[in-house]
Structure 1
Amino acid sequence: MYRQESYVFGTRVELTLYAADQAAAAHAAAAVLAELDRLHRQLHAWAPDSEVAAANRALASGQPFRPSPELAELLYQGQRLEVQSDGLFSPAIGALVAAWGFHADSYAARLPPADGLAALLAARPRLADIRWQGGQILAHKPALQLDFGGMAKGWALDRARRQLLKAGISSALLNIGGNIMVLGRKPDGSPWRVGIRHPRRAAAMLSLTLNDGEALGTSGDYQRYFELDGRRYCHLIDPRDGNADCRVQSVSVLARPGSDAGLVSDVASKPLYFAGPQQAANLARRFALAGWLLVDAQGAVWVTPALRQRLQWQQPPDSLYVTGAP
């Protein structure tokens, strides 16, 4: 076994893998982490020298921009997923995220100016506003600013999985800030077991096993947030109303194996978070999820039947509702 940690995409990355020898393991891990670091620098939403920042400057001024193959893929996927989620997920709301102060490593406990927020909402920035012309993108909407923070980690998981398989690694666990994917099983034949953090305690709420190619993604209000006048505001911004209210505590989704399992696990948690427990099942079906778990504002847990069977509770909830499908 070989384990290495790093800090990428503004979060901790943990890579655990098995290989024939330490040198092979170290080489494979270093290559994956180097690629993640490259993508982080390229896709950083507010670093002035990133490609996303350059694209945002062009979009704001109404100028065309030629994206790299990686950025073009994210744009195409983002447009598709924006439609699939009924606009509950949108990488076009970077200006809204910045207005709330979350385009910074540290942020103040303050509300955005009401008039500025209203203007951004009135503009209704969406990736659907981007037009493609000869390999370039163009949008006549200054309020449209790209931020791939809601999909880049999961998208990178899929790339890392392919990279590890190409390097001959068939047993691994990759965790990018709570977005987790596994390859195969451990050498003794046992499955990988991972934990989901309790949104209000610094410990695991539960654990579950992951099968080869499955991906687990969690969105919650407990990592990037601030409190003001007794209310909590988090980095999860609802594209419909620009609200940063923490309406639920966390949502975890389990994506089925597939070439885009990581991407699905990252993106799908956001629409379910905004939809809440009553509407989550409808959205989960659109993403063909293997299961989902939601902790509502009162701390009650809502979970699908199939996923419940796989859970081992470390801190059982006071209220548990088995609901929805799958």
Structure 2
Amino acid sequence: MFLRILLLCLAVALTGCSRSSVHQQEAFVFGTRVEVLVWGNDDAAAQHAMGAVLREFDRLHTAYHAWSPSELTALNAALANGERAPVSAELATMLADAQRLAAIGDQLFNPALGKLVALWGFHSDQFSPQQPAPTALRALVDSAPSMADLHIDGGEVWSDNPDVQLDLGGYAKGYALDRAAAILRAEGIENALINIGGNVMALGRKGDHPWQVGIQHPRAPQPIAVLALYDGEAIGTSGDYQRYFELDGRRFSHLIDPRTGEPASGTQAVTVLVPPRVGAGVLSDVASKPVFLAGDGWREMAQRYGVEMALRVDADGRIAVTRDLRARMKPLGGIEIDRVVD
């Protein structure tokens, strides 16, 4: 994965820590590996809190799955039939927030694109290397389903566009980070690291040092750099290296540009770091998508979301990073930063 948790106690002498002080649980949820680390608490308290987090992840995964039977698929069936559908208060709140965030980025973050995601074969745990029929693809691009087509009134949701099909894959991991942080704090856990397939949030510290995470290059085996992550900060990543297939020498990823209906090809990976704030997890998850899809306009798109710390690897492997994030990074592995931007 592009951004992975690194304990770094032995491989890189940055923390001087003892692994015996780290408690860990992991699982496979949201189609990826998730990991919760707790520092310093007694084992029973740590295990209880981490178990509560993983149970919450299971709940969210089941409730809002994009293609297995769930509250979300029931809503999508109603939307396809032009019907109003009752939804839970939680889902209504999530959709209203996603709608707000989609508008900021001119719908480049677009959870209404579920039909396009499915058309490319990514609504499956295993996908085949084939392109969709051009006529079906063009019909969906012309229909232009977006979050602006969605209406939310109290506990009811409906759409003017029957091609709206919701997929919260670019929102739910960030939401889960925020939920995990709330659960851990309620359980009395002050120092923890939560990793959902490269979407990471830190609580407190790891002993005498901040938590350390590594930014892995999407094409090289070694990290680009290591950076310190402080209490309440969250990192989101989007890349073309996890869910993708290759056909005729071209890589097709699940990151689809709603303007073309095609998987984006101008960027290999993006990382954004969000400082402590309400909804930091959600913002880190969401903002990485439009920044990825914006191509050479990535910096301006990041600024729309209030993100000052971001890194992009373009299609040719060139690395650009904002000045604020560069100041936090400790380069590793001889991989050079090609450009620093304000």
Map Cα deviations across residues 41-88 of structure 1 (whole Å, 9 max, x no partner).
1111010x2111111101001111111122112100111011111111
3-state DSSP of counterpart to 2:273: strand
CA shift digits 1:142-179 (9 cap, x unpaired)? 21000000111011101110111111000000000000
5 Å-filtered alignment, 1:119-268, equals 119-187=139-207, 189-268=208-287
In structure 2, give the amino acid aligned to 1:308.
R
Letter in 2 for 1:46: W
* Mapped partners of 1:201, 1:54: distance in 2: 41
Alignment of 1:1-326 (within 5 A): 1-47=22-68, 49-187=69-207, 189-276=208-295, 278-318=296-336, 320-324=338-342
Paired AA for residue 307 in structure 1: L
Paired with 2:154 and 2:294, the residues of 1 have a C-alpha distance of 37
- Structure 1 Cα separation of the partners of residues 204 and 154 of structure 2: 41
Amino acid at match of 2:280: A
**AA aligned opposite 1:244:** P
- Per mean C-alpha deviation after superposition, the further-off stretch among 128-137 and 302-311 is 128-137
Larger RCO (alpha carbons 8 Å, 6+ apart) = 2
The code of the aligned residue for 2:271 comes to S
Are the equivalent residues in 2 in contact too, given 1:256–1:290 (CA < 8 A)?
Answer: no
* Structure 2 letter corresponding to 1:35: E
By how many angstroms is 1:313 displaced? 2.1
Structure 2 unaligned runs (5+)? 1-21
The answer as to whether partners of 2:320 and 2:340 remain within 8 angstroms in 1 is yes
Q: Match of 1:207, SS?
A: strand
- Whether the 8 Å contact between 2:88 and 2:155 is mirrored in structure 1 is no
Question: What TM-score, normalized to structure 2?
Answer: 0.91
SS in 1 for 2:284: helix
> Does the 8 A contact of 2:264 with 2:293 survive in 1?
no
Q: Percent identity?
A: 50
Q: Tell me the matched-pair count.
A: 321
Distance 1:3 1:319, change over 3 A: closer
Give the TM-score normalised by structure 1: 0.95
Q: Partners in 2 of 1:300 and 1:29 — Cα distance?
A: 38
SS of equivalent residue, structure 2 residue 261: coil
Equivalent residue of 1:149, what SS?
helix
**Matched residue type, 1:149:** G
Take 1:19 and 1:38, find their aligned partners in 2: how far apart are those partners?
Answer: 27
Any idea what SS the aligned residue of 1:282 has?
Answer: helix
Tell me how far apart the structure 2 counterparts of residues 159 and 178 of structure 1 sit (CA, whole Å): 16
Query: What amino acid sits opposite 1:13 in the alignment?
Result: V
* Pairwise CA RMSD: 1.3
